[in-house]
Structure 1
Amino acid sequence: MLEAQLITELKKQNPFVQKRVYDTFVKRMFRLCVRYVRVEEDAQELLMNGFLKFFRSIEKIEYRGENSVEPYLKKIMVNECLMAIRQKQFSTISIDEIVDNEPIKDFSTYENIDEEEIYALILKLPDGYRTVFNLFAIEGFSHPEIAEKLKISENTSKTQLHKARQILQAELQKRGYDYGAKYR
């Protein structure tokens, strides 16, 4: 079924198409939720709330080519997670607004890194660091956008991203992925 037809059927609240969409995206959206709240039970609740909001707001979706459904669903899930973080205070974003001047190393120089290992390391980050890292590095938001969404300053966003990267790099080095070894 083409995505234009899929959207039309979703707007008709076709339960078979809703189930198909749910089955197609549930694993990816669950992992997205877990990246933000870490606790699987909380992520499951956010996932269900996100899908409900998605199906209830399907009238707002516009067909913009064959990849229209997933970005809209993903946006709803991210917003659901951020609202939960603010309301339930999963995240305590209270970092000094001091920005380190140490250069940020690029992860693209690491070779043969297992995605699941990085995913597990991201889940271990402190809540504020993990939230900013997800929004910046994975979702592609800018620091001004993150600051607005989380109601923090841009400098706090930059600091938390920097600290998250430092922690991830240190953990990767402990596991034998040495950034500097490539350049010695």
Structure 2
Amino acid sequence: MLRLIPFFTTESQLIAALKRGESRAHKVVYERFSGKMLTVCTRYCANRDDAEEVMLDGFMRLFDKIEQFREDGSFEGWIRRIMVTESLMFLRKNKQWRQEIPLEDAAVEPDYVWADTAINENDLLRLVNQLPDGYRTIFNLYAIEGYAHAEIATMLDISEGTSKSQLSRARAILQVSLKKMEQEPGRRDQTGNYEKTNRKTAN
């Protein structure tokens, strides 16, 4: 079943209109994807104003480079990659992604199964956004975007070892944060697990 898009019957028609430079197609794409793409940019640029600026730059690049999209993959995925690239360009320009902090407070062995169903998405995003820029960048690229360490190393002009160590440290910091959250009053239910709340559906 085809998903209807305002003014356009299919996504292919929308993309064709973009390639013709139709302003209504620009409007539809922005309205359809801006919410998701702002979330992507916010994962890299913790400051919302910076994230919005990066997102707008990303859409401008999208409209300028739309001829490069060959429709042999996900359109949303292609847009997402543009937004990630714009975010990394912003961080490099502002020399933010290399920032690190001492690890005295995060000296725990990373546990690669820490992110389970015991923590909801909003809490996880909040903890990730509190990471230093360098750690947050690599954690997002690896754990959320799915890039391999070799790809991350190329994207950030670092070694694979640096990518792996930054990810390990990011996870260690997140473990400490999770333990602190676990100790917060009202965070556990009677079984000793985190209370599971669905903030998305709360009005």
- Larger Rg computed on CA atoms: 2
The count of residues paired between Structure 1 and Structure 2 equals 174
TM-score, structure 2 normalization: 0.78
Does 2:128 correspond to 1:158?
no
- Mapped partners of 1:17, 1:42: distance in 2: 25
Report sequence identity in percent.
41
1:160 CA displacement: 0.7
Q: Which residue of structure 2 lines up, in the alignment, with residue 56 of structure 1?
A: 64
1:40 CA displacement: 1.0
Q: Is the 1:143–1:158 Cα contact (8 Å) retained in structure 2?
A: yes
* Structure 1 residues 121 and 95: alpha-carbon distance in aligned structure 2, compared to 1, 3 A threshold: closer
Q: Which residue of structure 2 lines up, in the alignment, with residue 124 of structure 1?
A: 130
1:101 CA displacement: 10
Q: Unaligned 5+ residue runs, structure 1?
A: none
1:19 CA displacement: 0.7
Q: Is the 1:147–1:154 Cα contact (8 Å) retained in structure 2?
A: yes
Letter in 1 for 2:136: R
Does 2:39 correspond to 1:31?
yes
- Mapped partners of 2:22, 2:62: distance in 1: 14
Match of 1:3 among 7, 11, 20: 11
TM-score, structure 1 normalization: 0.86
What root-mean-square deviation, in Å, do the aligned CA atoms of Structure 1 and Structure 2 show?
2.3
- Mapped partners of 1:94, 1:168: distance in 2: 14
For residues 6-155 of structure 1, what are the structure 2 equivalents within 5 Å? 6-64=14-72, 68-93=74-99, 102=109, 104-108=111-115, 110-155=116-161
Say which structure is richer in helix.
1
1:71-95 CA deviation, whole Å, 9 max, x = no partner? Answer: 1111111111111111111222568
Match of 1:173 among 173, 179, 183: 179
Q: Which protein, 1 or 2, shows the higher relative CO under an 8 Å CA cutoff with sep ≥ 6?
A: 1
